[in-house]
Amino acid sequence: MPSFGELVRDWQRGVQAVERGDWGCALRLFSGIPDPPARMCFNVGCVHLLAGDPEAALRAFDQAVTKDICMAVGFFQRGATNFLLERLGAQKCSGGCVLFNMAAAQCRLGLWAEATRSLEEAIAKGPEGACDLNTALGQVQKQASLQPRWVPRGEVFRPHRRHLEHLAPMDFLGKAKVRGRLLVSWAQ
């Protein structure tokens, strides 16, 4: 079992590999930890999506939401990955983005009235993104398809800054000091 410091160090190295676009290295670092936390499982799913492997991404997102049932972004990405794999099941979570993605799926199926209702419900749920939702509603009323929403490419969970600050080795004892005066007094 790796120490917490090793976990944070590998996590940070994995994030840096994602920033460089080195998917293999990032997967090796994120997957090399036994029993990883939910955020790291989410990162594995994001890297699999970036690498073009949605099946493996779906497994990683399933693992993330199993470990943390309150991880809304994990449910969101799992739903978006299901959409990518065209597995539109009854797996839902709350929020305007989910209703937007539902409307996008309904547009694909040609269910324009249902898509309109889904977008109107999303607009009624809250003001965040209402401008985008109104634009999408206009597209649906013109019977133009919508594209599903995703978490931005390359966005992954990062270790907390305060944990990173403690990774550098610390010298608690200080530097050794030689006292010449003591050595002289012993010689006499």
Burial pattern 124-156, b for ≥16 Cβ within 10 A else e, equals: eeeeebeeebeebbebbeeeeebebbbbeeeeb
How many Å separate Cα 46 from the centre of its chain? 6
Question: Terminal CA-to-CA distance of the chain, rounded, Å?
Answer: 55
- Tell me the C-alpha to C-alpha distance, in Å, between residue 113 and each of 2, 61, 126, 137, 143: 54, 31, 21, 11, 10
Return the DSSP state at 31.
H
The rounded distance, in Å, linking the Cα atoms of 13 and 22 is: 11
- Domain residue limits, the chain: 1-88, 94-150
Which pLDDT tens digit goes with each residue over 78-127?
Answer: 888 877 776 544 343 445 677 777 788 888 788 888 888 888 887 777 65
**Which parts of the chain have pLDDT scores under 70?**
1, 86-96, 126-131, 147-155, 170-172, 176-188
Q: What is the pLDDT of residue 61?
A: 92
What pLDDT, on a 0 to 100 scale, did the predictor assign at position 187?
52
Q: What is the pLDDT of residue 149?
A: 64
Task: Read off the pTM.
Answer: 0.53
Q: Is residue 115 helix, strand or coil?
A: helix
Please tell me the predicted confidence (pLDDT) of residue 89: 40
Contact 96, 133 (CB under 8 A): yes
Nearest CA among 137, 170, 159 for reference residue 14? 159
CB neighbours (10 Å) of residue 48? 24
Pick the CATH number of 1-88 from 3.40.50.300, 1.50.10.10, 1.10.287.110, 1.25.40.10: 1.25.40.10
C-alpha distances in Å from residue 166, one per residue of 6, 14, 34, 159, 163? 11, 18, 22, 12, 5
